[in-house]
Amino acid sequence: MTERSLAAPPRLLGTRLTRRIRSLGGLLASLALTFLGLLCITFLIGRIIPIDPALAIVGDRAPAHVYERVREELGLNLPLWQQFFIYVGQVLRGDFGTSVLTGRPVLEDIARVFPATLELATLGILIGVIFGVPMGVVAAVHRDRWPDQLVRVIGLVGYSVPIFWLGLVGLLVFYAKLGWVGGSGRLDFFHEGIAPSVTGMILIDAAIAGEWDVFRNALHHIVLPAALLGYFSLAYISRMTRSLMLEQLNQEYITTARVKGVSEARVIWVHALRNILVPLITVVALSYASLLEGSVLTETVFAWPGLGRYLTNALLAADMAAVLGATIVVGLVFVGVNLLSDLLYRLVDPRAR
């Protein structure tokens, strides 16, 4: 999805604006509904998938009576709606069930895979912002001249390249041929397990433990996938920055500032940029959210043990407890980002109050 959602058009922002006018309570209620709907649809899909979850547990060679018993234990004989209510009830009591694929509690699995995604997404979005915002500003300032065209082409290419392909080519060039970066996975094997897991994010864990070899190794591994994700969010961020800046540069206060003799650099990088900050943060939050929900393809190519791959594997094995658990995380990210950008908006922009 990362690959796609970043291509969301500026227009999305407009509808978001109208939504903000609603009360916070209404927002909360609608987010809760969205969340429940998400679970419901996931549950349904999981049950339509033509895979027998009991089979994954007992194996291909189990006799029929063992198989039947496991089906009953899983509650697969009950009507769908009943299964769903039992599941929601369990979740409300904090019981997310056990994954069929890993044989472990789903919460434990998620606590393991989510930090991997969080680490990658955070570094990715940082790269996206650091390169994307200045590129967008430059493009707006030099509108329709070559810097603008260049930024535009870079951005459009970002929307056009299959990320899994670019990842493969990147691995081929930077790992296999040049040896500049680490291969797939988060660490080389023998660095594994040295820094005690505190946050689950290896860079931070290694820094806490003062294991700088591990830190460097982790950096070697994360830099390529993060750069890729960064590129794709850069494409979106630079284009949004450009159109937001263009709006500002036509405003009167900019002209006033120029007339008053404020330096051009200051006008652009301080006055105008400050005024697009709020919508820009929403833009960044949106791309961050889509990265956090797990990039299936990037994680597949780089054997990154993150949420996207976990969810995909679970889905393809009809491992419903795991699928629903991961869906809850995705839903929480969605709700969280929406809420956060809304609160921010209210805080900064007096018109929204």
Partner 1 sequence: MLKTVFTSTALATALLLSPALQAATPSDALVQASRFDDIISLDPAEMYEISTFEVATNAYDKLVAYDLDDTSKIVPQLAESWEVSEDGKTFTFTLRDDVTFHSGNAFTAEDVVYTFARLAALDVGPSFLIHDLGITPDNHEDVLKAVNERTFEMTLSEAFAPSFVLNVLSGGNFSIVDSALLEEQAIEGDWGNGWLKNNTAGSGPFQLDQMVPNDRIIMSRFDDYWDGAAELGRLMWRHVEEPATQRLLLEQGDVDVARNLLADQLEPLRAEGTLQFVEATLGTQLYMGLNVSHEPLDDVRVRQALKYLVDYEGMVETFMRDAWIVNQTFLPQGMLGHVDSEPFSYDPERAKELLAEAGYEDGFSLSINVATNQERMDTAQAVQASFASAGIELEILPSDSRTALTTYRAREHDIYLGTWGIDYFDPNTNAVFVANEDNSPEAAANPLTWRNAWQEEELTERVKDLALERDEAARDEGYQALIEEWQEVSPFIMLFQQVAIAAVRPEVEGFRLAPTNDGNRHHRVSKD
Partner 2 sequence: MSETLSTAGWRAWLLSERPQSALQARLGQAWLSWNAFQRNRLAMLGLALILLLVLVAAFAPWISPYEPNVQNLRLRLQPPGAAHWLGTDELGRDILSRIIHGARITLYIVTLVVVIAAPIGLLVGTVAGYFGGWVDAVLMRLTDIFLAFPRLILALAFVAALGPGIDNAVIAIAITAWPAYARVARAETLTLRRSDFIAAVRIQGAGAFRIIGRHIMPLCLPSVIVRVTLDMAGIILTAAGLGFLGLGAQPPAPEWGAMISTGRAYLLDQWWVATIPGLAICLVSLGFNLLGDGLRDLLDPKRRGG
Q: Which residues contact partner 2 by CB under 8 A? A: 1-5, 7-9, 11-12, 14-15, 18, 30, 33-35, 37-38, 41-42, 45, 48-51, 149, 152-153, 156-157, 159-166, 168-169, 171-172, 176, 250, 290, 293-294, 296-297, 300, 308, 311-312, 315-316, 327, 330-331, 334
Is residue 44 a contact point for partner 1 (CB under 8 A)? no
Stretch near partner 1 under the rule CB under 8 A, chosen from 60-68, 262-270, 271-279, 328-336: 60-68
Report the chain's C-alpha Rg in angstroms. Answer: 23
149 binds, among partner 1, partner 2, none (CB under 5 to 8 A by kind): partner 2
Q: For residue 98, what are the β-bridge partners?
A: 105
Residue 242 to residue 153: CA distance in whole angstroms: 13
CB of 261 to partner 1, least distance (A): 36
Q: Give yes or no for a contact between 261 and 124, defined as CB atoms under 8 angstroms apart.
A: no
Is residue 283 a contact point for partner 1 (CB under 8 A)? no
Q: For residue 313, what are the β-bridge partners?
A: none
Q: Which positions from 79 to 108 touch partner 1 by CB under 8 A, shown as an x/- string? A: ---------------------xxxxx----
Residues in touch with partner 1 (CB under 8 A): 49-52, 55-66, 69, 100-104, 109, 112, 127, 131, 154, 157-158, 160-161, 166, 169-171, 174-176, 179-185, 188-190, 192-193, 213, 216-217, 219-220, 223-224, 227-228, 230-231, 234, 303, 305, 313, 316-318
